[in-house]
Structure 1
Amino acid sequence: MTEEEARERILAAAEELYYRKGYAAVGMDELRSAAGVSLRRLYALFPAKNDIVAAVLDRRHRQWESALDGAIAAAGDDPRERLLAVYRYLEDWFCTGDFRGCAFINAFGELGGTHPEVARIVREHKASFQEHMAALVAASGAPAALAAQLSILAEGAQSTAAISGDPQVAAQARAAAEVLIDAATAR
């Protein structure tokens, strides 16, 4: 197994375990076993658990942005539909059998207070999402303040759906987004 293959196996196993069980609950031995690599190889690639957590969050960030960009692109050229595509994407995500909330919110809740690097990564991810929303809002011609409102709505939907286990939260958030968008663009 190449170094890149071992790294990928470790990150895939870590992402699944951390998301399912929590960051603090997963030890290096459990991760090593799930990835099918030796403890020596694990530590050679990731000298500390924080290194793995950071790499998993970086990987998750790239996956999130790629999937979100795909959903937005699939909505076509209508600026309103591109904004609403964010909430359709959330609904699809919430309906997956393994949805357990936002991995970034989960990481921040578990580790953000004691691991400044995790807090920084989470803040950057959330800022990136707000930048995405700001670009979509600007393209719609709506006031810039709408971006923060729609971002907060999406973030709240993620937390609420994780806690309630109800994927319909995304549809409710989309309906609220429609009201906000229509009010902002009617001005």
Structure 2
Amino acid sequence: MRPNKKDELVSKALEVFYRDGFHATGMDKLVVETGVSKTSMYKHFRTKDDLILAALELRDRNFREWFLNRVAEMADTPEGQLIAGFDALAEWFEEDNYRGCMFIKACSEFQEADHPIHQQAARHKQILLEHLTGLAKAAGAKDPDCLGSQMLLLKEGAIVSSVLINSGAPARDAKAAAQVLLDQALGHQAA
């Protein structure tokens, strides 16, 4: 295999895992969907879990790059970026291939907290929490740790709700709640 074949395999496997789930996707299905032989697949990844970890790593990199860049395009202040994150979510929710959060799915399919796949998914959320807390701190929130946690909770809740009710509305609703929390955290009076 050419050196970039491994990356192509991970990218194609990511699409299949995102669409069909981790446990529902066996190696035989991956062989068919990716066009890579089982022998070649096992040459690069000893186990399906190893391939899942590589797919999650790629998804983490792609999602954070898109999300953070999109939010920065929408707003140039920390306060604005905390709120713009929900506008970015609304765009994501409207995508044709949107199926929720791959990391939430990973934690639900690999529930043991010490499982490497669960841990990698949790790291993704921890990195987002640290980013949101940093924005809250830069915005001057009284308790940036609390505000960062609240923003992550709203983000995650909007994602789950959008899948459950098949609607982009949870992003709008979460944005409204986030604005109330932000105003409160910054000591702004309600109009």
What TM-score results when the alignment is normalised by the length of structure 1? 0.94
- Give 1:158's aligned amino acid: I
After the TM superposition, which of the residue ranges 76-85 and 163-172 deviates more from structure 2? Answer: 76-85
CA distance in 1, matches of 2:113, 2:136: 35
Deviation, 1:115, is 6.9
After the TM superposition, which of the residue ranges 10-19 and 120-129 deviates more from structure 2? Answer: 10-19
CA distance in 2, matches of 1:118, 1:37: 23
Q: CA RMSD in A?
A: 1.5
Asked if the contact 1:101/1:158 (under 8 Å) is kept, the reply is yes
Partner of 2:175: 174
Q: Deviations over 1:7-29 (max 9, x none)?
A: 12211221111111110111112
1:2 aligns with 2:6: no
CA distance in 1, matches of 2:181, 2:114: 36
Asked if the contact 2:162/2:168 (under 8 Å) is kept, the reply is yes
Partner of 1:59: 58
- Give 1:139's aligned amino acid: A
- Give 1:87's aligned amino acid: F
CA distance in 2, matches of 1:97, 1:164: 15
CA distance in 1, matches of 2:78, 2:100: 27
Relative to 1, partners in 2 of residues 1:114 and 1:174: Cα closer, same or farther, differing over 3 Å? closer
Partner of 1:17: 16
After the TM superposition, which of the residue ranges 68-77 and 96-105 deviates more from structure 2? Answer: 68-77
| Structure 1: gaps of 5 or more residues | none
Runs of 4+ in 1 over 2 A off after TM superposition: 75-79, 112-115
What TM-score results when the alignment is normalised by the length of structure 2? 0.92
- Give 2:60's aligned amino acid: H
Partner of 1:186: 187
CA distance in 2, matches of 1:185, 1:161: 28
Give aligned-pair identity as a percent: 32
